[in-house]
């Protein structure tokens, strides 16, 4: 589809060309998707702080991620090229009263060292997904298996407890064996027959898609 005589690729290139990289920002404060930053480089030998900068997050309608930034995190700051070009007009006297940067138009893109992140998400092209953090991990394998590991796992609340089939069946069969071998005796009567024909099978109660070592 063409808009105003332009193809989509031309429109994207035009939008990108109208924005430019300002500087790296060092996060000072974070509040609900907006940050206060200090520019990584001084202007006119002074530290510059910008407030109320919107943080952009990568994503789409299908998948979007949002995360808290903390003091010391690094962001890439971008703004309209026309605003950035006016930086040449700044002087020491006007820097604090006529900043060339308009915080309404400045956007911040978070940048991080993946290896040192506290929480990580790996999405591979084979379809597998892994989420890891302090004390927990969630993995979706290529065959559709979901593996969850953590200190505690709750499914629709925590008011009741599961039992594991293997341990329950072992104990149940032990008790059943005792019952089957038990006989009653009394004076003048032979012992009652054992209940060897008694059969109880719990196989149908065993889950096949939900398993645990917990």
Q: Where are the beta strands (DSSP E) in 4-55?
A: 19-31, 34-39, 49-55
What pLDDT does 30 receive?
Answer: 95
Averaged pLDDT, 66-73: 90
CATH number for the region 8-112 comes to 2.40.50.230
Q: Where are the beta strands (DSSP E) in the chain?
A: 19-31, 34-39, 49-55, 74-80, 107-111, 120-123, 129-133, 136-140, 146-150
Domain with CATH 2.40.50.230 in the chain: 8-112
What pLDDT does 36 receive?
Answer: 93
Of the ranges 116-125, 134-143, 161-170, 174-183, which is most confident?
Answer: 134-143
Q: Is the model's pLDDT at 15 over the cut of 50? A: yes
Q: Pairing between strand 107-111 and 49-55?
A: parallel
Q: What is the pTM of this model?
A: 0.60
What pLDDT does 158 receive?
Answer: 87
Cα 121 from Cα 133, distance rounded (Å)? 9
């Amino acid at each position: 589809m063409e808009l105003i005589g332009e193809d989509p690729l031309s429109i994207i290139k035009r939008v990108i060309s109208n924005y430019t990289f300002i500087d790296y920002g060092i996060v000072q404060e974070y509040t609900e998707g907006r940050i206060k930053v200090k520019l990584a480089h001084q202007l006119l030998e002074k530290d510059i702080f910008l407030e109320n900068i919107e943080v952009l997050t990568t994503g789409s309608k299908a998948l979007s991620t949002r995360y808290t930034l903390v003091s010391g995190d690094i962001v890439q700051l971008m703004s309209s090229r026309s605003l950035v070009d006016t930086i040449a007009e700044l002087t020491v006297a006007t820097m604090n009263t006529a900043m060339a940067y308009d915080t309404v138009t400045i956007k911040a893109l978070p940048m991080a060292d993946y290896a040192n992140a506290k929480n990580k998400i790996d999405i591979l092209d084979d379809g597998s997904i892994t989420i890891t953090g302090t004390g927990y991990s969630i993995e979706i394998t290529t065959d559709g298996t979901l593996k969850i590991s953590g200190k505690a796992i709750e499914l629709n609340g925590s008011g009741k407890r599961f039992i594991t089939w293997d341990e329950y069946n072992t104990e149940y069969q032990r008790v059943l064996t005792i019952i089957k071998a038990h006989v009653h005796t009394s004076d003048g009567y032979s012992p009652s027959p054992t209940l060897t024909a008694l059969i109880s099978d719990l196989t149908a109660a065993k889950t096949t898609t939900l398993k645990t070592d917990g």
